[in-house]
Amino acid sequence: MLTLTATDWLNAWEHSLTLSPALRPCALLAPILPDGQEGAEHLSIGTRDSHLLDLYMALFGPKLEATATCPACGERQEFVISVDDLRETPPESPRQDLAWGDGTIRVRFRLPDSRDLAAIEGAESQEGAERTLLQRCCISVADGDRDIAATDLPGDVVSALSDAMAAADPQALTELALTCPDCGHGWVDALDIGVYLAEALGYWAERLLDQVHLLAGAYGWSERDILGLSPQRRMRYLARVLE
C-alpha cells in the first residue's frame, strides 16, 4: 500500500463527506488505487469491500471494535472481531460478465458496483430497488429466442438472479452471528465495512484537528507545519501544552 501522509487522509475523508453514502467508501480508496475515485466506483461491491478491509487493517490494525443492539431486549452489546474473520473466500475465477439460465430464460449480467448502489438510494421500496439494480446490471435478457427487458422478468427469476449475484461476489454482504449475553437471543446483523471505516477515519480526523488547533494556538504554527510532524513528536509537544 502506498505511504500517504496525514494530510492525504484528511483530504480523502473530507472529500468523502461531499458524496452520497454509496460513493463515500470509494473516496477513501481513491488515494491508493491507480484509477482513483473512478476506478473505485467501478469495482464490484465485494472487491471494493475487500480493499476496504485491507485499508482498515493498514490504518487501524487487525481488530475491529463494534456495537450492536439486541432486537429482543434492547441491550447494547460490544464485541471485538478480527478483520480476517470478516473475509469471505472469493470465487476461483472472479468475472464481471456472468451468465444465468433456467433452460428457457437466459441472462448475461455484471456485478453491482458503487454507482449502482448510488442509483437506488432513496428507492421507495425494496422491490423497486431490486428492479432498478437488476435493470442496470443486466447486459442481455432472452426468453427463448426473444429478447426481453429486465423489468419483464418474473419475481422468481429476479430472486434467482439476486442469489447468483451474491454467490459470485460473497464479500458484498458481511453478516455477523451474534448472541445477546443478557437474554440469550441470537440474531444475524450486517456489518458495512465502508460505513465503519468512514466512522473510524472521522474520529481520527476530529482528534487530529483538535491537536492542530491546540498546537497552532500554543506555538503559532500552521496546519501544514503541524501535520508535517511525526505523530510521536506531535504528541510530545501536546503533552507540554497540556501540562
CB 79 within 8 A of CB 149: no
Instruction: Report the pLDDT value the prediction gives residue 33, as an integer from 0 to 100.
Output: 94
DSSP-assigned beta bridge partners for residue 99: 108
Burial state string for 29-68 with b = 16 or more CB within 10 A and e = fewer than 16 = bbbbbeeebeebbbbbbbbbbbbbbebbbeebeeebeeeb
pTM over 0.85: yes
Place of cell 507545519: 225
Rounded to 10 degrees, the C-alpha dihedral 14/18/22/23 comes to -70
Instruction: Report the pLDDT value the prediction gives residue 122, as an integer from 0 to 100.
Output: 86
Rounded to 10 degrees, the C-alpha dihedral 47/50/51/56 comes to 160
Instruction: Report the pLDDT value the prediction gives residue 2, as an integer from 0 to 100.
Output: 62
What parts of the chain have a pLDDT lower than 50? none
Instruction: Report the pLDDT value the prediction gives residue 89, as an integer from 0 to 100.
Output: 83
Other CB atoms within 10 Å distance of the CB of residue 5: 10
Instruction: Report the pLDDT value the prediction gives residue 103, as an integer from 0 to 100.
Output: 87
